[in-house]
Amino acid sequence: MLAQQLVNGIISGATYALFALGFTLMFGVLNVVNLTYGVYFSTGALIALYATRHFAASILLTLPLAAVATGLIAVVIDGLLLTPLRRKKAPELASLMVTLGATLLLYSLMTAFIGTDIQRFPPAAINPSAIEIGSVRISRSQMLIVGTAFAMVALLLALMRGTRLGLAIRALAENPDVARLMGVDVTLVTFFVSFVSGTLGATAGILIGLNYNAIQPYMGEAMMLKGFAVIIIGGLGDIRGALIAGLILGLLEGLTAGYVASTLKDAVGFLLLVLTLWFRPVGLFGHAAAKRA
Amino acid sequence: MPAFLDDFLFSYQSLIYALGINGLLALSMYVVLAIGQLSLGQAAFMGLGAYTSALLTLKLGTPFPLVLATSMAVPALAALIIGAPTLRLSGVYLALATIGLGEVLRIAFVNSELTGGALGLSGIPEKAGYGIIFGSLVLALIAFVLISRSRIGRAMEAMREDEVAAGMLGVHLPRYRISALVVSAMLAGLAGAFNAHVSSFISPNDYGFDAAVTILSYALLGGIGSPFGPVVGAIILTLLPEVLRPLHDFRLVFNGLIIVIAVLFMPHGLVPWRIRRSGARA
């Protein structure tokens, strides 16, 4: 029982970490809080669902396709809403407000066209077989989740640490003006970061959609609550913090569902968020910085 | 009262109530935006007020004035719990924590038997009327106009324009932030209590994400230069879907669009005039 709860916790923790990674990346590098991020989660899952249904293709093919498509959507949204604000050097909260409006707009457009009914992947897309190790059961889709999450994280870390593009991204995060002076094409790098974030959000959406096999437009909204919790616990803009906080949240949710009450599961994240704000507002690994004019 | 006026008030009763309640909600958003902060918990505070008041009336038969006072106190307490730790942090933390509050409350309302689960509470007696709703709205407006003209109002405006500079000039930032948030939660709670006591039925979905964003759209459409802006915004966005029927089905899309347009293209809203401070010469 305990082992199974822990495994389930790690699996949802891996998706939370993956989801929060894109969110914290946008905040850390682009210095905007982009609330449309929850929409990417839903969009990714919906595109994958329709592609799988329509072309009767394997999920292994539609997953990357839908992730890339959502990444492109994220670039368009960034270009339309956030680039103008950045150019005006608008305050952080302006980005929050504009993306909040856009989120409501996009969610209600999606529901206007496809409704709020829960949709499912065709049975053929999901392999129901599972492996059993002792008393622990892990399904194929859960293995896909953990595998994809680890692969994406490894790729991202390699990109950030080992390439010139990663260096440019880190320079942009440090100081956009200085990065520009050092020859970084800020616009291009900004779009690239949006693309990567959109891809990460969409991948998390597809994986969660596969795991629970229940997809509808507002699914990203509930996920945003976990996203906020993870990035605040891990520290805003902190990649390592987001990974660890995601896993912690998944594990604690699993244990709460198993040993306390499954209805309380979704409140765990918020409780941790409030506790973090009270006792360690900089997050797990953060250090305090003064706000300057 | 002339018969035609009587008829008019009868047939548009719920719409007229909504104008007053949404006006109060817009003002609750205004207090926080006026100091350059952003709370996205207005719908959650409203829901807390609505559920508190409905439960007191239905289960305990508490007298209405006491119900109203409690339904302002409970959201104020929630605002203190999640607002106090964010006082010394950047505004992003307050915004994220308050959206989180909304989401977690919705989950709590849906799962609790006391609050009637997803079906909500029904059979709430109609205890609020035009007098008390519009009386509160007018009182709140007068209070905010007086505040804008005072030293406090100038400090608030300074915070909105440049927080660091305002702090340097002696504005006690944390005190202003928490006061604004608590006042805002109380106003939203009051609006929620009125809402519960004119519509006889409340459910968790009335106070979710859509409502939170809609309340923000009132304030941004009207502009936050003066307390009149948000109220004007609330009136327009409440009436428009009734006048333009096709808009009704897409009103959430429209409210979202209003925010996008307001932030990108008209940061001062429809009512850009500021209130002149007392003692200022022309």
| Probe site for chain B from A76, A111, A232, A277 (most B CB atoms < 10 A) | A277
Query: Taking Cα atoms as reference points, which of B127, B108, B118 lies closest to residue B57?
Result: B127
Contact at CB, B260 and A81, closer than 8 angstroms: yes
**Residue appearing with tokens 């994958």:** A48
How many C-beta atoms surround the C-beta of residue B26 within 10 A? 32
Mean pLDDT over the full length of chain B: 85
**Residue appearing with tokens 């990974």:** A243
Confidence of residue B268 (pLDDT cuts 50, 70, 90): confident
Residue A20 is assigned to a structural domain of this protein: yes
Average pLDDT, stretch B250-272?
Answer: 81
Q: Is this prediction's pTM over 0.80?
A: yes
Q: A181 at the B interface (CB within 8 A)?
A: no
Show the 3-state SS of chain B: CCHHHHHHHHHCHHHHHHHHHHHHHHHHHHHHHCCCCCCCCHHHHHHHHHHHHHHHHHHHCCCHHHHHHHHHHHHHHHHHHHHHHHCCCCHHHHHHHHHHHHHHHHHHHHHCCCCCHHHCEECCCCCCCHHHHHHHHHHHHHHHHHHHHCHHHHHHHHHHHCHHHHHHCCCCHHHHHHHHHHHHHHHHHHHHHHHHHHHCEECHHHHCHHHHHHHHHHHHHHCCCCCHHHHHHHHHHHHHHHHCHHHHHCHHHHHHHHHHHHHHHCCCCCCCCCCCCCCCCC
Residue B238 pLDDT exceeds 50: yes
Q: A291 at the B interface (CB within 8 A)?
A: yes
Encoded amino acid at A45, one letter: A
Residue A16 is assigned to a structural domain of this protein: yes
Vertex A157: Cα angle to A156 and A158 (nearest 5): 90
Per-residue pLDDT reduced to its tens digit, A64-88? 899 999 999 999 999 998 888 888 8
User: How far, CA to CA in Å, does A245 sit from each of A72, A227, A241, B11?
Assistant: 28, 10, 6, 54
Average pLDDT, stretch B73-78?
Answer: 94
Q: What is the pLDDT of residue B1?
A: 58
Give the dihedral of Cα atoms B158, B159, B162, B165; nearest 10 deg.
80
Q: What is the pLDDT of residue A47?
A: 92
Residue A125 is assigned to a structural domain of this protein: yes
Contact at CB, B256 and A104, closer than 8 angstroms: yes
Per-residue pLDDT reduced to its tens digit, A228-250? 889 889 888 888 888 999 999 99
Choose the weakest-confidence range: A4-13, B37-46, B58-67, B273-282: B273-282
- Token pair for residue B166? 């305002």
Chain A CB contacts of B100 below 8 Å: 225, 228-229, 269-270, 273
Distance from the Cα of A100 to chain B's closest Cα (Å) equals 7
Contact at CB, B99 and A103, closer than 8 angstroms: no
- Rounded Cα gap, residues A43 and A106, in angstroms: 10
Q: What is the pLDDT of residue A116?
A: 78
Contact at CB, B253 and A108, closer than 8 angstroms: yes
- Rounded Cα gap, residues A229 and A224, in angstroms: 8
Chain A CB contacts of B91 below 8 Å: 92-93
Chain A CB contacts of B214 below 8 Å: 104
Residue A292 pLDDT exceeds 60: no
Q: What is the pLDDT of residue A293?
A: 42
Contact at CB, A92 and B253, closer than 8 angstroms: no
A:B CB pairs within 8 Å:
131
- Rounded Cα gap, residues B55 and A204, in angstroms: 40
Nearest to B165 among A91, A228, A293 (CB): A293
- Find the radius of gyration of the CA atoms of chain A: 19
Q: A278 at the B interface (CB within 8 A)?
A: yes
- Residue ranges per domain, chain B? 15-208
Nearest to A101 among B107, B162, B257 (CB): B257
Chain B neighbours among A 56-85 (CB < 8 Å)? Answer: 81, 84-85
Nearest chain B residue to A224 by CA distance is B100
Mean pLDDT over the full length of chain A: 85
| Probe site for chain A from B258, B264, B265 (most A CB atoms < 10 A) | B264
Query: Taking Cα atoms as reference points, which of B131, B159, B150, B135 lies closest to residue B224?
Result: B159
Here the CATH number for the domain that contains residue A36 is 1.10.3470
Residue B282 pLDDT exceeds 70: no
How many C-beta atoms surround the C-beta of residue B268 within 10 A? 14
Q: How many CA atoms lie within 13 A of A194 on its CB side?
A: 27
What's the domain count of chain A?
A: 1
Contact at CB, A112 and B249, closer than 8 angstroms: yes
Nearest to B96 among A84, A103, A228 (CB): A228
* Full domain range(s) for residue A147: 2-279
Nearest to A281 among B36, B89, B107 (CB): B89
CB B193 within 8 A of CB B53: yes
Per-residue pLDDT reduced to its tens digit, B213-236? 889 989 888 888 888 989 998 998
Residue A287 is assigned to a structural domain of this protein: no
Chain B neighbours among A 83-142 (CB < 8 Å)? Answer: 84-85, 91-94, 96-98, 100-109, 112
Residue A290 is assigned to a structural domain of this protein: no
Q: A270 at the B interface (CB within 8 A)?
A: yes
Task: Specify burial of residue B4 (Cβ count, 10 A radius: 0-12, 13-18, 19+).
Answer: exposed
Chain B CB contacts of A291 below 8 Å: 90, 164
Distance from the Cα of B192 to chain A's closest Cα (Å) equals 22
Q: What is the pLDDT of residue B277?
A: 63
Contact at CB, A277 and B97, closer than 8 angstroms: yes
Residue B242 pLDDT exceeds 90: no
User: How far, CA to CA in Å, does B85 sit from each of A276, B139, B263?
Assistant: 9, 31, 28
**Residue appearing with tokens 């072309």:** A55
Vertex A263: Cα angle to A262 and A268 (nearest 5): 85
Q: How many CA atoms lie within 13 A of A9 on its CB side?
A: 24
- Token pair for residue B217? 């759209």
